[in-house]
Amino acid sequence: MDLKKYAEAIRTHPGVTRKNAIHGVVDMFPTAGFSKVVAAEGEDAAVLECGDTCVLFAADGIMEKLIKSDPYLAGYYAVLVNVNDIAAMGGRPLGMVDVLALSDGNPGTELFKGMRYGVEKFGVPLVGGHTHPDCHYDSIDISIIGTVKKEDVLLSSTAMPGDDIVFIMDIDGRFPPSVPYTFDTTSMKSAELVQAQMEAIAVVAEKHLAHACKDMSNPGHIGTLGMMLESSSAGAVVDVRKIPKPSFADDIEWALAYLGCAFVIACDPSCSQEIVDIFREVSCEGAVVGKVDGSRVLKITDGKDTEVVFDFSKDIITGIAPKK
């Protein structure tokens, strides 16, 4: 592996660079002073206090490029990405609403069929929303709510120096030809297994095994870890040889992929094996790939050479101010 090429591919990946604009939006809407907001900026879902339970609140949209290239998969992934955001917080989803824009007003399109399949697969109802039936374009955005006990919330901003970094991945899947850098692991599997994979994170949360968690999204596995470290004001060294990977995947292609079921977890080393075992029961691979440290620099190594991917004293991914 060319480690320099590998690191540069991650730094310049659109899944990473398109996150740079987030802080500009976040800075316009500060949440400080709102007593019911437990966590918001930099998390996969906002955490809103509601007695002893917290409401998890998230939203996600699908890129125009995917809607044009594969509307069925776009509808399906509109559900998947939102369910993953709730799972990553240790929660269980309750329901979704959507905002649709349609160029032909036809509810029988592939986009709708993909959404319906996602609802059936993940067992989360679509309970309302809004439709624009007369637009000049097609788009789909979904918002989701879930719940988690207050003491069980998993944040992505609380990784601690000394933590193991555990990568959890379902590596049994395929790269759809219509969607580069997307690794589909869920559409061909049973609803029972897919829902059990999401439930596994809730089990980890209830057992208080993890300090931090984030679902692997568009930035890829190292890029998603970078977002966790950025918001945790931490750094890490990752041994790329230890990252689970299907035999047919190219190293860089795998590093940049959006994975259908995959999580970055930071935990006390005494908990790593139990987390791996929990996910092995639902057909996911897990491995300790590195350690969190206090450097605020994310490095990768192949056992011989070491390369800096992000130095958060000068680099940004989301640009959201680290938690203090």
Tell me how many domains the chain contains.
Answer: 2
Full residue range of the structural domain in which residue 236 is found = 3-18+154-311
Whether residue 13 sits in one domain with residue 101: no
Query: Which string of DSSP letters, residue by residue, matches 92-150?
Result: EEEEEEEEEE-SS--TTSHHHHHHHHHHHHHT--EEEEEEETT-SS-EEEEEEEEEEEG
Residues 224-239, mean pLDDT to the nearest whole number: 97
Last residue of a domain, one of 151, 183, 211: 151
User: Is 63 part of a structural domain of the chain?
Assistant: yes
Whether residue 277 sits in one domain with residue 175: yes
Per DSSP (E only), the strands in the chain are 37-39, 46-50, 53-61, 92-101, 126-132, 139-149, 164-169, 182-183, 212-215, 235-239, 258-259, 262-267, 285-293, 297-301, 306-311
Residues 21-36, mean pLDDT to the nearest whole number: 84
User: Is 316 part of a structural domain of the chain?
Assistant: no
- Phi-psi group of 33: left, alpha or beta (phi > 0 → left; psi -120 to 50 → alpha; rest → beta): left
Write out pLDDT tens, residues 171-208. Answer: 999 999 888 789 999 999 999 999 999 999 999 999 99
Per-residue model confidence (pLDDT) at position 310: 98
Write the CATH number for 186: 3.90.650.10
Last residue of a domain, one of 106, 126, 151: 151
Candidates 226, 223, 245, 251; CA nearest to 236 is 226
Q: β-pairing, 297-301 with 212-215? A: unpaired
pLDDT score of 323 more than 70? no
The model's confidence at residue 31, banded by pLDDT at 50, 70 and 90, is: confident
Arithmetic mean of pLDDT over the chain? 94
The torsion angles phi and psi of 292, rounded to 5 degrees, stand at -80, 140
Whether residue 300 sits in one domain with residue 166: yes
Residues 112-129, mean pLDDT to the nearest whole number: 96
Whether residue 162 sits in one domain with residue 306: yes
Write out pLDDT tens, residues 74-89. Answer: 999 999 999 999 999 9
Whole-Å CA distances, 242 to 166, 219, 248, 288: 10, 19, 16, 7
Tokens for 44, please give them: 């996969």
User: Is residue 156 within a helix (H) or strand (E), and if so which, with residue range?
Assistant: none
pLDDT score of 324 more than 50? no
Last residue of a domain, one of 113, 133, 151: 151
Write out pLDDT tens, residues 240-267. Answer: 999 999 999 999 999 999 999 999 999 9
- Evaluate whether 212 touches 157 at the Cβ level (below 8 Å): yes
Candidates 287, 268, 292; CA nearest to 277 is 287
User: Is 302 part of a structural domain of the chain?
Assistant: yes
Candidates 101, 111, 46; CA nearest to 78 is 111
Write the CATH number for 134: 3.30.1330.10
Q: Count CB atoms within 10 A of the CB of residue 50.
A: 12
Per-residue model confidence (pLDDT) at position 154: 98
Per DSSP (E only), the strands in 173-284 are 182-183, 212-215, 235-239, 258-259, 262-267
Q: Order of strands, edge to edge, in the sheet holding 212-215?
A: 212-215, 262-267, 164-169, 285-293, 235-239, 297-301, 306-311
Cα gap 262→220, rounded to integer Å: 10
User: Is residue 15 within a helix (H) or strand (E), and if so which, with residue range?
Assistant: helix 14-17
